[in-house]
Amino acid sequence: MIAPNDAATSAATIELNHAARWYGNVVAVNDISFSLGPGVTGLLGPNGAGKTTLLHMLAGFLAPSAGDVKVLGRRPHLDPAVYRQIGLVPEREAVYPFMTGRDYVRFNARLQGLPNADEAARQAISAVGLEDAMDRAVGTYSKGMRQRVKVAGALVHDPQVLLLDEPFNGMDPRQRLAMMELLGRMADAGKTILFSSHILEEVERVGSEILVIVAGRLAASGDFRAIRALMTDRPHTVTIRSSDDRRLATALMGDPAVFAVELRSDSLAVRTAHLSVLRLLLAGASRKAGVRLLEVIPADESLESVFEYLVRR
Amino acid sequence: MTAIPHSTSVSLIPDITLVTLRQLLGRRRAVLLLLLSAVPVLIALLYRAAGADKVDGFAGGVLEVLCLNLILPIIAVLFGTAAFGAEIEDGTIVYLMAKPVARWAIVAAKLLAAISLTVILAAGSVVISSAIAIVHLEDRGLSAMEVYTTAMVVGSICYVALFVALSLFTQRALLIGFGYVLIWEGALSNLLPGIANLSIRQYAIGAGQIFYDLAPERARLEPEAAVPLAVIVVVAATVLATRRLMRLEISGETD
């Protein structure tokens, strides 16, 4: 559950209160406040938005330059004992290449002080479905396998909070689905899981709650469907070239799906909130007006433009 | 803030030491250092084959100039700066840092690994080459081996402690480390004798005189001064490294 305001909820396991982090003159995370409880939350944002900085602040690797960051009521950058309850999957691929998968997960279990590191490692490896490769050196693993062994190392001590930085990178669709199911099961067991991604569809499939971060700021937070609706219903600009732009503009003006029409020297710019409606409308209106459509170019549909729109709101 | 029990952290030092050893030995530079430490052994074989029988000549030239002044600091700076440096560089440091392990225990494990390798290569080189070239000659031969072996062990501990700490403060630890060895200890200490008080090389050779007063003209510090100074360097470097590790910041690759 996300509480995107200053007040932390009683069930909050992760709390940020006006947290900021800058490097010299560069602000990586800018005045972010939210609190999270158990469940899967996606941290969505374009590359360079500050997702990794935010996760590293939560993991205690970066002290906040301003504000406060708490995990389970403790400040992780000052308190290594909190790592008993935190599992971290970093974005960087590096895993000790000379270790086997089993060695690596057992090493993590040992450092967590688990009494039966062998058994804990076996269970974690089984959870990520890597039993067949566990006695091979990690250096021989594919990118997807390396991601999975990192996840096994992070959850070997059954942490309350799991932080994952771009965990689906390099996984094939089947591995991705299995990992999504695993995160879902952990969330059902009451764990707080925060994972970052720059891919909308990944977040859509796993997290019902999302945080959208753009240029270091929290652009949106809450239920995925509501934010998705905001993203799809945003105004789009479509550029059209036709045999008679002026006549086509007249034909489109009357429709409620069209917000604005701008006649340019060699094209027509149409603004709408409903791309699909506009497509149908264009076909009918051009036929009725006897205008031939030469080119229809939707404006920038990149994720970055979606994020920019959310920031402006 | 919850304290981590010291007993838990102590019990994990061997695990972290073993991983660090494998990291240090897995790098190509470990092979180069092994070859480097074999150079005095080769010279000793030639020395013996040529029928040379001067203890002081071998001790002053090979054991002191080659082993103590050159090979030891090169091995120590490369292992010392890589103990943390390699992990920081490739990102695996996060797996150590995200654990409920006292930071002093991580520093202790890194020191243990880097010092062990440095002692084995540097002091091992002195022991083997002395055994080949001079131990059979007279009592002074055995004495020279003991002096320089002691110096190599003390020097290994001090240099590695210094370079491990340095690697947590700067990414240019290797460059600064070589600068310290070549410029400060190599060139300046000959021009300004007072620098001996701030020279690990002098602490090492001074400590080597504990057993035999073998090279008084080269050792500028008495053992009574050299040993405490060496201890101060090791303790100070370890404390600084631990404090630095407690505040070590790891930023992401992407943002």
* The pLDDT of residue A207: 67
Contact residues, chain A, for B254 at CB < 8 Å: 47-48, 51-52, 91
The total domain count for chain B is: 1
Residue B55 lies inside a defined structural domain of this protein: yes
pLDDT of residue A131 exceeding 90: yes
B19:A107 CB<8 A? yes
pLDDT, tens digit (0-9, with 9 covering 90-100), for A264-279: 888 999 888 777 788 8
B6 touches chain A (CB under 8 A): no
pLDDT of residue A296 exceeding 60: yes
* The pLDDT of residue A233: 66
More confident residue, B97 or A223: B97
* Apex A93 CA angle, A92 and A98, nearest 5: 130
Helix (H, G, I), strand (E, B) or coil at B2: coil
pLDDT, tens digit (0-9, with 9 covering 90-100), for A192-215: 999 998 877 777 777 678 898 888
* The pLDDT of residue A311: 63
Q: Is A65 left (phi over 0), alpha (psi -120 to 50) or beta?
A: alpha
* Apex A72 CA angle, A66 and A149, nearest 5: 100
* The pLDDT of residue A38: 93
- Which A-chain residues 89-118 have CB contacts (< 8 A) with chain B? 90-99, 107-108, 110-113
Spatial CA neighbour of B204 closest among B21, B34, B39, B76: B76
pLDDT of residue B216 exceeding 60: no
Distance (Å, rounded) from C-alpha B112 to C-alpha B77? Answer: 15
Report pTM.
0.84
- Which A-chain residues 25-84 have CB contacts (< 8 A) with chain B? 28, 47-53, 55-56, 59-63, 74, 78-84
pLDDT of residue A83 exceeding 90: yes
Distance (Å, rounded) from C-alpha A167 to C-alpha A187? Answer: 16
Average pLDDT score over residue span A86-102:
92
Q: Percentage of chain B with pLDDT > 90?
A: 64
Average pLDDT score over residue span A99-114:
95
A47:B255 CB<8 A? yes
3-state secondary structure chain A: CEECCCCCCCCCCEEEEEEEEEECCEEEEEEEEEEECCEEEEEECCCCCCHHHHHHHHCCCCCCCEEEEEECCECHHHCHHHHHHEEEECCCCCCCCCCEHHHHHHHHHHHCCCCCHHHHHHHHHHHCCCHHHCCCEHHHCCHHHHHHHHHHHHHCCCCCEEEEECCCCCCCHHHHHHHHHHHHHHHHCCCEEEEEECCHHHHHHHCCEEEEEECCEEEEEEEHHHHHHHHHCCCEEEEEEECCHHHHHHHHHCCCCEEEEEECCCCEEEEECCHHHHHHHHHHHHHHHCCCEEEEEECCCCHHHHHHHHHHC
Average pLDDT across chain A, whole number = 87
Residue B171 lies inside a defined structural domain of this protein: yes
Distance (Å, rounded) from C-alpha B222 to C-alpha B203? Answer: 9
Average pLDDT score over residue span B182-196:
81
Count of pairs with CB atoms under 8 A, one residue in A, one in B? 113
* The pLDDT of residue A224: 73
Phi, psi values for residue B26, rounded to 5° = -75, -10
* Nearest CA-CA distance, residue A103 and chain B, Å: 10
* Nearest CA-CA distance, residue B167 and chain A, Å: 18
* The pLDDT of residue A5: 47
pLDDT of residue B26 exceeding 90: no
* Nearest CA-CA distance, residue B177 and chain A, Å: 26
Distance (Å, rounded) from C-alpha A103 to C-alpha A218? Answer: 39
pLDDT of residue A4 exceeding 60: no
pLDDT, tens digit (0-9, with 9 covering 90-100), for B121-141: 999 999 999 999 998 887 888
The tally of CA atoms less than 13 A away on the side-chain side of residue B75 is 36
Q: How confident is the model at residue B242 (pLDDT cuts 50, 70, 90)?
A: very high
* The pLDDT of residue A62: 94
First CA to last CA distance, chain A = 23
Residue B97 lies inside a defined structural domain of this protein: yes
Spatial CA neighbour of B62 closest among B155, B144, B184: B144
A52:B252 CB<8 A? yes
Least trusted range by pLDDT, from A195-209, B175-189, B240-254: A195-209
A47:B97 CB<8 A? no
Spatial CA neighbour of A41 closest among A5, A4, A80, A72: A4
Q: Is-contact A106 A121, C-beta < 8 A?
A: yes
* The pLDDT of residue A28: 92
pLDDT of residue B41 exceeding 60: yes
B32 Cβ contact list (under 8 Å, min separation 6): none
* The pLDDT of residue A116: 94
ipTM of the complex: 0.89
Helix (H, G, I), strand (E, B) or coil at B252: coil
pLDDT of residue B255 exceeding 70: no
DSSP category for residue B172: T
B86 touches chain A (CB under 8 A): no
To which residue do tokens 């001067």 refer?
B54
First CA to last CA distance, chain B = 29
Largest CA distance in chain B: 67
| CATH topology match: A2-231 vs A233-312 | no
pLDDT, tens digit (0-9, with 9 covering 90-100), for A139-170: 999 999 999 999 999 999 999 999 999 998 88
Residue B159 lies inside a defined structural domain of this protein: yes
Query: Which residue in chain B has the smallest CA separation from A64?
Result: B249
* Nearest CA-CA distance, residue A107 and chain B, Å: 8
* The pLDDT of residue A305: 63
Domain that holds residue B225: 9-246
* The pLDDT of residue B254: 45
Please state the domain extents for chain A: 2-231, 233-312
* The pLDDT of residue B232: 97
Spatial CA neighbour of A8 closest among A78, A73, A87: A73
Contact residues, chain B, for A47 at CB < 8 Å: 254-255
B16 touches chain A (CB under 8 A): yes
Angle between helical axes of B72-90 and B6-26 (0-180°, round to 10): 110
Contact residues, chain A, for B99 at CB < 8 Å: 80, 83, 108, 111-112
Of A83, A86, A107, the CB nearest to B15: A107
Contact residues, chain B, for A94 at CB < 8 Å: 90-92
A300 Cβ contact list (under 8 Å, min separation 6): none
A258 Cβ contact list (under 8 Å, min separation 6): A252, A270, A271, A272, A278, A281
* The pLDDT of residue A6: 45
* The pLDDT of residue B67: 95
pLDDT of residue A242 exceeding 60: yes
CATH class of the domain comprising A233-312: alpha beta
Average pLDDT score over residue span B101-108:
95
B216 touches chain A (CB under 8 A): no
Which CATH number among 3.40.720.10, 3.40.50.300, 1.10.1200.10, 2.130.10.10 corresponds to the domain A2-231?
3.40.50.300
Containing B117, the helix (H) or strand (E) segment is: helix B103-118
Residue B135 lies inside a defined structural domain of this protein: yes
Distance (Å, rounded) from C-alpha A290 to C-alpha A298? Answer: 22
pLDDT, tens digit (0-9, with 9 covering 90-100), for A167-188: 988 888 888 889 999 999 999 9
pLDDT of residue A10 exceeding 90: no
